[in-house]
Chains A and B, each alone.
Chain A
Amino acid sequence: MRLSDLPRGTDAVIDSVDDHGSTDPVAHRLRELGFVPGEAVRIVATAPLGGDPLAVRIGFTRFALRRTEADRVNVHTAAGTPA
């Protein structure tokens, strides 16, 4: 499933980050910030007025991501199988 579909408060693990187009600076930056396969993530908050952006905890760090950015990140929930 995509990170943007992950319910708030559920632990998940990153599978991959998709590039949108051939050179995708957003995907590149996401990887540099630690969105790499195997990292544990969790959505800690969603913003008012429509739940966009998301506050995501990865490791010791929290990031604010818009849903379009979180769409690039594929995750599976820690307990279950990739959806």
Chain B
Amino acid sequence: MTTLNIALVGNPNCGKTALFNLLTGSRQKVANYAGATVERKEGWFTTPAGHTVRLLDLPGAYSLNATSPDEAVTRDVCAGTYKGEAAPDLLVCVADATNLRLHLRFVLEMRNLGRPVVLALNMIDAARRGGMEIDLPRLQAEIGMPVVPTVGIRRDGARSLLTQLDETLPPVPTPLPAGTDLHAMVRQILSDCVTQSTPLSDRVEERLDRWVLHPVWGPVILIVLLFFMFQAVFSWAQPVMDGIDAGMGWLGQQVGQLLPDGVLRSLIVDGVIAGAGSVVTFLPQILILFAWILALEESGYLPRAAFLLDRLMSFAGLSGRSFIPLLSSFACAVPGVMATRTIQNPRDRLVTILIAPLMTCSARLPVYTLLIGAFIPHRNIGGFLNLQGLVLFGLYALGIISAVVVARILRWRNADRQEATLLMELPAYRLPNPRDLALGLWERARIFLLRVGTTIVSLTVLLWGLSSFPAPPPGAPGPAIDWSLAGRIGHLMLPVFAPLGFNWQICVALIPGLAAREVAVGALATVYSLGSGTDTDQAALQLGQMLPTHWSMATALSLLAWYVYAPQCVATLAVIRRETSSWRVVALAAGYLFALAYVAAFLTYHIARMF
């Protein structure tokens, strides 16, 4: 039996992705469209009658008249003209039953594509609860294509759609004559097929938005949400992190006892386990952060935050649209830079890309956590705040304030007076669906662990090699690492970084940190465990307790300041290059970040030494 190619299309916020997750479960693959930087989501499933379906989740679009790269991909794939993409056999057009006035216009556009189309009337349950009655047979007749009700968030919510897919493909709908007034047609269809019994002003959105978008309460709610987000990242994750930490220590000891003393044992225990272990420890924090961002996104709150912050963003010369890419950059600058594609204005987009690395990404968290845990006392302030959480909050704030300043300067330099646009939908509120959250989190965890498994472990092993060879001559004084290649490179870098209060161990750790910031923690563990000359696995896993004996407070603060700015992430620079197709932009980003990092660390070190 042949595979059926189906493309899922629809307006943003129509619940398309929930339906996609419901149909395909975890059988999904996320990649990019060939030759474009638009995310391509594909999944597979089998219908009850045994047909194999390849389902493509196209980017949300308001119209086939594209105004962004995402919409252009949707337009071209639907038309079957996208290079390297098979033309879909069937389009499943998803429309939110509670928002038909907006969504049906796009559905009508589908009629002129010359392909079979099925309309999935999604969230039909919510529409009924809201007092809306939809005459499905009549709608089907007027819209000119099969209509199936779906509920993306219920386990059996796609049953009618699956039944429809097992029938023969519906006929290609009759195209609408050129120049048809689609809005007038939508209005006619709605008045014929839909009866609304409850007044609009009683809807949940109306009542919630009175608070959430309120000029005073709105920002208060936003600040409280963001503050709890950061407190949660720091305190809720701790027990799990302690558990993983202890587990890794135990593993190191067990493996250490099994293996004979020598190079292999050192490689496994000091290189692989100590390096990867100290990074895996931070998985709970990263997951909590992603869970917050995903939940805010799913619930419909994120665009409201963009609305509240638009004025603030326009102070930085940007629009509220830049808020979502920048917020994603708190998780990782790579998806953040990629998310800038939703910004239509090229100048806004460039500025957003350039300041995205200033948002504190989750890869910086391991470094922050390590240093804050080791140097900032665990003390309560005012009964419920803890000093460590406050310092973390301060580091995030520093990144944000710097981003505003940098954006202002870039705008001033690049005084293109093009109108900045916002024009953004504030979608219906939705309770985040556990399955969609879980799938999103699983995707992040997988990417993080893959990075640990490949890039990070190979880098820690490389660093272990640099730190172990050449071995010191027998009976040589001082720690072994002083004689190694890493020690020599660190010493060579020292004159540049000594004014920042960095010692050569930090310099060594900065090298692999280039590939991924969090590797610096693993690298420090490796460098210190090899340098300590005592029971190595213990030392590696108790880096936090050890550091205060090696570094001054000024050095630790200086390194924190360095990490707020430093352009230490090859992946970010690579994605900037890919998104802008310009090495000049990459050089500009790396150059200004390095300069800021150097100045900030220098000032921090010298000011801190005065106390």
Contact of B65 among A28, A44, A49, A66 (CB under 8 A): A28
Contact B423 A69 (CB under 8 A): yes
Residues of B within 8 A of A69 (CB): 421-423
Q: Measured between alpha carbons, how far is A28 from B62 in the docked complex, in Å? A: 12
Contact A55 B209 (CB under 8 A): yes
A32-B422 contact given A45-B214, A53-B310, A64-B310, CB 8 Å threshold: no
A66-B98 contact given A47-B308, A47-B311, A52-B311, CB 8 Å threshold: no
Contact of B209 among A26, A62, A68 (CB under 8 A): A62
Which of B98, B213, B307 has the most C-beta atoms of chain A within 10 angstroms of its own C-beta? Answer: B307
Contact of A49 among B100, B311, B422 (CB under 8 A): B311
Q: Measured between alpha carbons, how far is A55 from B200 in the docked complex, in Å? A: 16
Contact of A55 among B183, B213, B319 (CB under 8 A): B213
Residues of B within 8 A of A53 (CB): 307, 310-311, 320, 422
Contact B102 A59 (CB under 8 A): yes
Stretch of B48-56, B215-223, B275-283, B569-577 lying at the A interface: B215-223
Residues of B within 8 A of A28 (CB): 65
Selected A-B contacts with CB under 8 Å, 23 pairs: A25-B67, A29-B62, A45-B307, A47-B213, A47-B307, A47-B310, A48-B215, A48-B218, A48-B308, A52-B314, A53-B307, A53-B311, A55-B426, A60-B100, A60-B102, A62-B426, A63-B425, A64-B303, A64-B307, A64-B320, A64-B424, A64-B426, A66-B310
| A7 contacts the other chain (CB 8 A) | no
A61-B101 contact given A32-B65, A52-B310, A69-B423, CB 8 Å threshold: yes
In chain A, what residue has the closest Cβ to B215?
A48
Q: Measured between alpha carbons, how far is A32 from B215 in the docked complex, in Å? A: 29
Residues of A within 8 A of B215 (CB): 45-48, 51
| A30 contacts the other chain (CB 8 A) | yes
A48-B209 contact given A59-B101, A62-B425, CB 8 Å threshold: no
A34-B102 contact given A25-B67, A45-B213, CB 8 Å threshold: yes
A29-B423 contact given A48-B218, A52-B311, CB 8 Å threshold: yes
| B202 contacts the other chain (CB 8 A) | no
Interface residues on chain A, size class: 20 to 34
A65 CB, min distance to chain B CBs, angstroms: 6
Contact B307 A66 (CB under 8 A): no
In chain A, what residue has the closest Cβ to B217?
A48
Contact A60 B99 (CB under 8 A): yes
| B306 contacts the other chain (CB 8 A) | yes
| B579 contacts the other chain (CB 8 A) | no
Contact A66 B63 (CB under 8 A): no
Contact A63 B426 (CB under 8 A): yes
Contact of B423 among A34, A51, A65 (CB under 8 A): A65
Q: Measured between alpha carbons, how far is A36 from B185 in the docked complex, in Å? A: 13
- Give 10 new A-B contacts, CB below 8 A, not counting A25-B344, A30-B423, A52-B310: A36-B183, A45-B215, A48-B216, A50-B311, A60-B98, A61-B102, A64-B310, A64-B426, A66-B310, A68-B419
Contact of B101 among A44, A46, A60 (CB under 8 A): A60
User: Per-position contact with A for B195-225: 1 when CB-CB < 8 Å, else 0?
Assistant: 0000010000110011001111011000000
Contact A66 B421 (CB under 8 A): yes
Q: Measured between alpha carbons, how far is A45 from B311 in the docked complex, in Å? A: 14
| B162 contacts the other chain (CB 8 A) | no
A57 CB, min distance to chain B CBs, angstroms: 8
Q: Measured between alpha carbons, how far is A49 from B338 in the docked complex, in Å? A: 30
Residues of A within 8 A of B176 (CB): none
Q: Measured between alpha carbons, how far is A77 from B65 in the docked complex, in Å? A: 31
Residues of A within 8 A of B100 (CB): 60
Contact B99 A61 (CB under 8 A): yes
- In B402-434, the 8 Å CB interface with A consists of 419-426
Residues of A within 8 A of B311 (CB): 47-50, 52-53
| B105 contacts the other chain (CB 8 A) | yes
Contact B422 A65 (CB under 8 A): yes
Residues of B within 8 A of A62 (CB): 205, 209, 425-426
Q: Give the 7 A-B CB pairs with smallest separation, nearest first.
A: A45-B213, A59-B101, A62-B426, A48-B215, A49-B311, A64-B307, A66-B422
